[in-house]
Chains A and B, each alone.
Chain A
Amino acid sequence: MFENVFGIHEQALLLHGQRIGVLATNLANADTPGYKARDIDFSAVLAHTDESETLPMLVTQGAHIAMNDAGSPSAELKYRNPYQASLDGNTVEMPVEQAAFSETNVRYQASLAFINSDIADLKYAIAGQ
């Protein structure tokens, strides 16, 4: 009865964490010539993430290790379309990345708050007071 206590937020938390990592990579390479900014299409991944079912990790090469890590959503990285490409081939646009970064930050904390309130509910139910 406790396998799906946190609903979608368990996977949303993981996905937001991954997206923050990707956006931080974009920020770090803001001055690297030829670097292409990438992002996770969050809603597309989450649309495939049913509450009862988790996405399998792709095994495309023999050397890959098949993962049975339940609750770990798999996300495909997509290249960002820049509003205005720069001459050195870099597609990182600082304001876009910073906005996405702070948005993901807030969403991560929102998921965390929902999980925390679920935990508080459970504690209340267990202790009865």
Chain B
Amino acid sequence: MSLFNVFNVAGSALNAETIRLNTTASNLANAESVNGDESKVYRARHPVFQAMMNTADSSFDGQDASIGVRVLGVVESNAPAAMRYQPDSPVANKDGYVYMSNVNSIEEMTNMISANRSFATNVEAINTARDLLLKTISMGH
């Protein structure tokens, strides 16, 4: 019954959005991280979502009715890391420069709001499915 699939599908979305919120928290926490070596500086991370085909459930004439979502991986942004002249920093390179992390705080904040909304929507879907199933179970009473 499809109503039970709502729990699996929305649950997978909750998991994916949680990972998205985690990367956002990590990015915001490291927004001011610096390093003297450009290859070692913190780079903004973003999860890549992918639809999860469920071939076991094809009650729709061979089409997958329920498709969850999973995080395929986490990619690092390759935006250039800004240089800043800070000769007194303990991690400054020999020319006195440090590299700033390439996190865009505004982008991260909008990402966080979007993840928050998506999370809430999926919680609502789970609550609705639960209410409907409970009402169906008590049919005739």
Chain A partners chain B: yes
Binding site for B on A (CB under 8 A): 13, 17-25, 27-35, 38, 57-58, 60-61, 64, 74-77, 94, 98, 101-102, 105, 108-109, 112, 115-116, 119-120, 123
Q: Is the interface of B mostly helix, strand, loop or mixed?
A: helix
Is B125's CB under 8 angstroms from A101's CB?
yes
How many angstroms between the C-alpha atoms of A27 and B9 in the bound complex?
A: 9
- Most A C-beta atoms less than 10 A away, residue of B1, B16, B121: B121
Minimal beta-carbon separation of B51 from chain A (angstroms): 5
Q: Is A21 touching B6 in the complex (CB atoms < 8 A)?
A: yes
- B67's contact among A18, A25, A31, by CB below 8 Å, is which? A25
Number of interface residues of B (CB under 8 A): 40
Q: Which residues of A contact B16 (CB under 8 A)?
A: 31
Contacts of B125 in A (CB 8 A): 23-24, 27-28, 101
| Distance in Å: Cβ of B54 to nearest Cβ of chain A | 10
Q: Is the CB of A119 within 8 A of B139?
A: yes
B98 contacts the other chain (Cβ, under 8 Å)? no
Q: Assess the A60–B61 pair: CB atoms within 8 A.
A: yes
Contact mask for chain B residues 102-141; partner A; CB cutoff 8 A; 1 contact, 0 none: 0000000000001101100110010011001001100110
Q: Which residues of B contact A (CB under 8 A)?
A: 1-3, 5-6, 9-10, 12-13, 16-17, 20, 48-51, 59-63, 65-69, 114-115, 117-118, 121-122, 125, 128-129, 132, 135-136, 139-140
Give the chain B neighbours of A58 by CB distance below 8 A.
61-62
Assess A28 versus B69: contact at CB under 8 Å? Given A94-B121, A105-B128.
yes
The 10 tightest CB contacts between A and B, nearest first, are: A21-B2, A28-B13, A119-B140, A24-B6, A32-B49, A18-B2, A24-B125, A58-B61, A28-B9, A17-B3
B6 touches A20 (CB 8 A): yes
Inter-chain contacts of B136 with A (CB < 8 A)? 13, 112
Asked whether A60 lies within 8 Å of B62 as measured between CB atoms, the reply is yes
A11 shortest CB reach to chain B, Å: 14
Quote the shortest CB–CB distance from B124 to chain A (angstroms): 8
Q: Which chain B positions have C-beta within 8 A of A105?
A: 128, 132
CB pairs A–B below 8 angstroms (29 shown): A17-B1, A17-B3, A18-B2, A20-B128, A21-B3, A21-B5, A21-B65, A24-B122, A25-B5, A27-B13, A27-B125, A28-B13, A28-B67, A28-B69, A32-B49, A33-B49, A35-B67, A58-B61, A58-B62, A64-B62, A74-B61, A75-B60, A94-B121, A109-B132, A109-B135, A112-B132, A112-B136, A112-B139, A116-B140
